[in-house]
Chains A and B, each alone.
Chain A
Amino acid sequence: MTGQILSRFSIHTPEGVTFSLRLAGPVVRSLAFFTDMAVILTITKIINLFGGFLGVISPDVATAFSVLAYFAVSMGYGFILEWALNGQTLGKRLFRLRVMDAQGLALSFSQVVIRNLLRLVDALPGLYLLGGISLLITRKSQRLGDLAASTIVVWSPPMAQPDLAQILSGKFNSLKEHPHLCARLRQKTSPAEADIALSALIRRETIGPSERVELFSVLSGHFKEKIPFPEEAVFGLSDEQYVRNVADVLFHPVNRLSR
């Protein structure tokens, strides 16, 4: 049950594809939980407001209604919403969390019910202590309810498709005037090195000015050492421009500008 705690959970599909899901940590899960608690309290308040009208007929019936309403909402909120919204409550949806089967399959109704019923045990002896400890020590960050139901909670961070056009296209690349060197550069550069260059370019605006100069100086030095280009190809290029041209060579093997 315990061991190295994972931040990502890999699933191997029968098609031979491996994908990983980012497991939700205690902080983001707590935030979703508190949001859900606020929603439960709001729903209960609203129901009690209507139940108050029953007090005109019978205060006893109004109290019974309130007790049962709170009980039904607090017990039923989780499994009704997680079932209806495919593993999400309002809090989970807000924080981009989703309950999934531990094998990557969709949730079954019984899993949803069991993980929510076991909240009572997770809450023991108070303040979700058992569930919190379980979350911290289990490999897949599972509370007891998740263990019993064989579920995990995954976090899908906001996703943006990379816009390479802005950083790589439409600019003259002097390195591409030497196709044989470009071919050698592509051959000698590992995917990891290529990604470092690309990541640096994508994130360049988020780096401080001095760090940015230093980073691109190191990177250009590295690529210059790997495949030296003639002086006329690199004349007047800043380190950052050099790295941009290298990334362009690596990720745009066909020189569309020269065609």
Chain B
Amino acid sequence: MIIDLSRFIENEKPFWTELETLLDRMERDAAFRMDVRGLKRFHYLYQRASSALSRITDVSSEKNLKIYLESLVGRAFAEIHKQRSRFTFGNPLTWFLRTFPRTVRKHAAALAVSLAITFAGCMFGAFAVSMDPDAKESILPFAHLMGDPAERVAYEESGKTDRLSGHKSSFSSQLIANNTRVSVFAMGLGITWGIGTFILLFSNGVILGAVAADYIMAGQSSFLAGWLLPHGSVEIPCIILAGQAGFVLAGALTDKRRPVSLKQRLRDAGPDIVTLMGGVALLLVWAGFIEAFLSQYHEPVIPYAVKIGFGSVELILLILFILLGGRPTKETAP
């Protein structure tokens, strides 16, 4: 069949123009909403354009018209099937206090894997340094950790001047940016079926274990706890939570037990990954602030007992938050 193309265009063009105008408005203004009558008209225009596309596809390969109609139908199809209401932060406070801890618990297996890998890395790092103290030169990436811990402690504790004076805010902002980047890597490397996330968490654990073993063997446990706990009690769990998000992504890629397509598994996992990363980002702001303004000060400026106490309380609160946050109360339970 060969159709009268010019008459066909002449008849249909007003409907295409109307649909195009509507689509332009929808795409320009995300808050644009139609009433039922408008929606019915929109659906009618979509169906009419679809029908025109079918006719054109069957009878002619006139490229411009086909591309034009495909674009119209494609845009309308996306608008009709869009799911914008599926994920919203809603009330930010409710989201952080309820949705975030619930999401962490929902993926407890991924959290356990993330935690276990970090712990295994710590054990490996500690074992390596305790067996061969020279190994820390290969393991530790930071120059200031290469020396003798006792010398560093003596230097830090004798410091009469504040070495971060005038740089606390910038140091804090750099820590926030850097830690967030590492967390994003821990999540993003989940795309390598979790292998990249595994390597990142394990290597992070190795560094942590090696530093801890080095300072403990040098008899500087108090300094170590006072130095790491205030910010580490939030920062280290954040990396583990980001690793959890990475394993949620890897799980969506590899889990074939559910009878749904890969695309659908990824769509389902997406909101949870974003929630985990959003929570991690907020917690890292706190960790960066504490690291710059508290962790870098040692005795005699701030007693270790205060720093250790502060860090321990943070850690306990964080664990309680993750375990209990967002659980149904007696009033809300079904």
Chain A positions within 8 Å of B, measured between CB atoms, are 11, 13, 15-22, 58-61, 63-65, 67-68, 71, 75, 83-86, 100-111, 113-114, 117-118, 120-121, 144-145, 147-150, 154, 156-157, 159-162, 164-165, 168-169, 186, 189, 191-192, 194-195, 198-199, 250-254
Chain B residues within an 8 Å CB radius of A113: 274, 277
- Given A71-B180, A106-B84, do A21 and B70 touch, yes or no (CB 8 Å)? yes
- Given A104-B74, A191-B60, A251-B5, do A67 and B173 touch, yes or no (CB 8 Å)? yes
Contact A148 B188 (CB under 8 A): yes
The minimal Cβ–Cβ distance linking B293 to chain A, given in whole angstroms, is 12
Contact B68 A159 (CB under 8 A): yes
- Given A121-B189, A148-B266, A164-B9, do A100 and B78 touch, yes or no (CB 8 Å)? yes
Contact B81 A105 (CB under 8 A): yes
Q: Is B4 an interface residue (CB 8 A)?
A: yes
Q: Is B91 an interface residue (CB 8 A)?
A: no
Contact A17 B78 (CB under 8 A): no
The minimal Cβ–Cβ distance linking A167 to chain B, given in whole angstroms, is 10
Interface-forming stretch among B140-148, B164-172, B205-213? Answer: B164-172
Complex Cα gap A189–B59 (Å): 11
Chain B residues within an 8 Å CB radius of A101: 78, 267
- A150-B263, A164-B5 given. 9 additional CB < 8 A pairs? A60-B169, A63-B173, A71-B177, A106-B79, A159-B71, A161-B65, A191-B2, A199-B63, A253-B2
The minimal Cβ–Cβ distance linking B39 to chain A, given in whole angstroms, is 15
The proximity string for B residues 70-95 relative to A, scoring 1 for CB distances below 8 Å and 0 otherwise, is: 11011001110111101110000000
The proximity string for B residues 159-199 relative to A, scoring 1 for CB distances below 8 Å and 0 otherwise, is: 00000001111101110110011001101111100001000
- Give the nearest-CB partner of B164 in chain A: A60
Complex Cα gap A150–B5 (Å): 38
Q: Is B270 an interface residue (CB 8 A)?
A: yes
Chain A residues within an 8 Å CB radius of B4: 251-254
The minimal Cβ–Cβ distance linking A141 to chain B, given in whole angstroms, is 16
Chain B residues within an 8 Å CB radius of A64: 169-170, 172-173
Query: Can you show 20 pairs from A to B with CB atoms below 8 A apart?
Result: A11-B74, A19-B73, A19-B74, A19-B77, A58-B169, A60-B166, A63-B169, A67-B170, A100-B78, A105-B78, A108-B87, A109-B86, A114-B273, A159-B71, A161-B64, A164-B9, A165-B6, A191-B2, A191-B61, A198-B60
The minimal Cβ–Cβ distance linking A242 to chain B, given in whole angstroms, is 18
Complex Cα gap A65–B73 (Å): 45
Chain B 75-131 interface residues, beta-carbon cutoff 8 Å to A:
77-79, 81-84, 86-88
Chain B positions within 8 Å of A, measured between CB atoms, are 1-7, 9, 13, 26-27, 30, 47, 50-51, 53-54, 57-65, 67-71, 73-74, 77-79, 81-84, 86-88, 166-170, 172-174, 176-177, 180-181, 184-185, 187-191, 196, 249, 262-263, 266-267, 270-271, 273-274, 277
Chain B residues within an 8 Å CB radius of A103: 263
Tell which of B84, B191, B277 has the most Cβ of chain A within 10 Å.
B191
Contact A108 B86 (CB under 8 A): yes
The B interface, classified by DSSP as helix, strand, loop or mixed, is helix
Complex Cα gap A194–B2 (Å): 8
Chain B residues within an 8 Å CB radius of A144: 188, 191
Chain A residues within an 8 Å CB radius of B170: 60, 63-64, 67
Complex Cα gap A166–B6 (Å): 11
Contact A68 B177 (CB under 8 A): yes
Contact A161 B9 (CB under 8 A): yes
Complex Cα gap A74–B3 (Å): 52
- Given A114-B270, A149-B270, do A106 and B67 touch, yes or no (CB 8 Å)? no
Residue B30 contacts which of A84, A164, A192, A251 (CB distance < 8 angstroms)? A84
Chain B residues within an 8 Å CB radius of A59: 166
- Give the nearest-CB partner of A250 in chain B: B2
Contact A15 B50 (CB under 8 A): yes
Contact B87 A13 (CB under 8 A): no
Complex Cα gap A165–B10 (Å): 10
Residue B2 contacts which of A22, A107, A186 (CB distance < 8 angstroms)? A186
- Give the nearest-CB partner of A198 in chain B: B62
Complex Cα gap A106–B63 (Å): 25
Residue B266 contacts which of A65, A104, A149 (CB distance < 8 angstroms)? A149
Complex Cα gap A18–B57 (Å): 9
The minimal Cβ–Cβ distance linking A86 to chain B, given in whole angstroms, is 5
Complex Cα gap A150–B47 (Å): 26
- Give the nearest-CB partner of B23 in chain A: A86
Contact B188 A168 (CB under 8 A): no
Identify the 5 closest CB pairs spanning chains A and B, nearest first: A106-B82, A110-B270, A64-B169, A63-B170, A121-B188
The minimal Cβ–Cβ distance linking A194 to chain B, given in whole angstroms, is 6
Residue A104 contacts which of B67, B78, B167, B180 (CB distance < 8 angstroms)? B78
- Give the nearest-CB partner of A115 in chain B: B270
Complex Cα gap A67–B1 (Å): 65
Contact B64 A160 (CB under 8 A): yes
Contact B270 A159 (CB under 8 A): no
